[in-house]
Structure 1
């Protein structure tokens, strides 16, 4: 969907498959899990507006580009970060 970028914790993106209020849902990468002996690294991410009871989502690192509609600009990411910290329970 978008150019390939190496995902890093704290990066924000619009999800190509998940929508919220008729707009692509915003997600932040929370961490990259080390692969097991036979598994691929997992990219873990959390939706903006998720509650503490919501589980993080994850996907194999080689498939991650398929779910990214676009990366947020630095300004958009800063606004999302402020929104996440302003609303308790958001990540």
Structure 2
């Protein structure tokens, strides 16, 4: 399982020590075991849901509550050009 953990860590670009990989192996095995147990549950006739609660979300009125304040907000910026903030180039 250590090799699988290290392979997944490498694919996820996560650096793990051997001790961390050894600790994560059983934890990941437990998670996979739980997923396999869930796959055994009979879901025949159960409608798929996106949310566990069948409640409608309250919607707010579609009105503008905060007008255009660009000039006011950009007045304190050190450098603005054509309505955009100008920042130093960062090239490595």
Structure (1 or 2) with the greater helix fraction: 2
Query: Which of the two has higher C-alpha Rg?
Result: 2
Q: Which has the higher contact order (CA 8 A, sep 6+)?
A: 1
- TM-score, length basis structure 1: 0.20
